[in-house]
């Protein structure tokens, strides 16, 4: 199972950021329609190289020179765009945006390339926390906002975040890969930084779902095990959504009375 020191996302980021794409992959990323891509290649407008099995390889720099940078260039969009994929759109509109207020301070664990970060930016301050500098650097290349504060942590801690400072804590695409003891440590450390009325949103793996069972990087958690961890850490569960996502669940909670 992946642990806190897993370089899973670092490896995926490096693969995602390679300097050239095959034409079909470039089309999938949204640089252009198939017709426009083929037209640009055949006309010579788009430099390219024909390689193994007759496949067409194109440098990303050339793609961006001809077509510009697509929205899908954000690392993480390969797993779905929250503006267009219905379950993710529902999560964004129902569980994220209602908690994003200009007077609030937010924190995101594992921002990736900013797929969800972009919706949290209206808050007056947004901490983004990751265990790997490469991932924080990738976010900085995508988003340059004065209210964004990057934090490199040493595991499950929140260095530099004040006591009871956070109104809304958010994490998507991270806890699905974390073993239960790591989740428990994160839950313990969240208590210090959450305001008494603050709210936390976590998406986690549900191994009772087939799409989680066939994904070896998803950890063996379920509704029941996550519910127990959250409650054992002293939190009060506000909401659980176990149906919207195809491989995972959402739990929203706040500090209870210990």
Distance CA 188, CA 168 (A): 16
Mean pLDDT of 10-27: 69
Which range is most confident: 8-22, 112-126, 131-145?
112-126
Do 18-73 and 78-255 share a fold? Answer: no
Q: Quote the pLDDT of residue 13.
A: 47
Q: Quote the pLDDT of residue 11.
A: 59
Distance CA 73, CA 84 (A): 15
Sheet arrangement for strand 194-205: 148-152, 125-130, 105-109, 166-171, 194-205, 248-255, 235-241
Q: Quote the pLDDT of residue 27.
A: 85
**Structural domain boundaries in the chain:** 18-73, 78-255
Distance CA 154, CA 49 (A): 43
Burial classification of residue 258, based on how many CB atoms lie within 10 Å of its CB (0-12 exposed, 13-18 middle, 19 or more buried) = exposed
Q: Quote the pLDDT of residue 26.
A: 86
Q: Quote the pLDDT of residue 17.
A: 46
Q: Work out the pLDDT band at 8, boundaries 50, 70, 90.
A: low
Q: Quote the pLDDT of residue 141.
A: 83
Tokens of 82: 């929250």
pTM of the model: 0.78
Neighbours of 201 (CB within 10 A): 21
At the top level of CATH, the class of 78-255 is alpha beta
Distance CA 250, CA 242 (A): 7
Q: Quote the pLDDT of residue 215.
A: 93
Mean pLDDT of 61-89: 84
Q: Looking at domain 18-73, which CATH architecture does it have?
A: Orthogonal Bundle (1.10)
Question: Would you say residue 185 has pLDDT above 90?
Answer: yes
Mean pLDDT in the chain? 90
Neighbours of 149 (CB within 10 A): 15
Q: Quote the pLDDT of residue 145.
A: 94
Distance CA 32, CA 59 (A): 14
Which of 43-52, 92-101, 169-178 comes out lowest in average pLDDT?
A: 43-52
Which of 50-59, 70-79, 105-114, 169-178 comes out lowest in average pLDDT?
A: 70-79
Question: Would you say residue 3 has pLDDT above 70?
Answer: no
């Amino acid at each position: 199972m992946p642990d806190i020191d897993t370089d899973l996302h670092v490896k995926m980021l490096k693969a995602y950021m390679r300097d050239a794409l095959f034409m079909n992959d470039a089309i999938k990323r949204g640089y252009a329609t198939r017709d426009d891509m083929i037209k640009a290649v055949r006309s010579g407008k788009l430099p390219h190289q024909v390689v193994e099995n007759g496949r067409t390889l194109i440098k990303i720099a050339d793609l961006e020179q001809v077509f510009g940078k697509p929205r899908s260039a954000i690392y993480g969009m390969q797993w779905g765009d929250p503006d267009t994929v219905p379950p993710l759109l529902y999560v964004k509109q129902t569980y994220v945006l209602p908690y994003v207020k200009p007077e609030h301070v937010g924190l995101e664990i594992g921002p990736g390339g900013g797929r969800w970060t972009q919706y949290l930016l209206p808050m007056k301050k947004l901490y983004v926390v990751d265990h790997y500098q490469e991932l924080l650097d990738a976010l900085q290349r995508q988003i340059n906002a004065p209210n964004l504060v990057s934090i490199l942590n040493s595991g499950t801690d929140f260095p530099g975040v004040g006591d009871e400072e956070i109104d809304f804590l958010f994490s998507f695409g991270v806890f699905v890969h974390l073993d239960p003891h790591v989740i428990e440590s994160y839950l313990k450390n969240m208590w210090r930084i959450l305001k008494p009325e603050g709210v936390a949103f976590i998406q986690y793996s549900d191994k009772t779902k087939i799409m989680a069972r066939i994904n070896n990087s998803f950890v063996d958690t379920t509704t029941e095990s996550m519910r127990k961890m959250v409650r054992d850490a002293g939190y009060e569960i506000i909401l659980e959504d176990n149906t919207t996502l195809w491989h995972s669940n959402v739990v929203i909670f706040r500090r209870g009375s210990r």
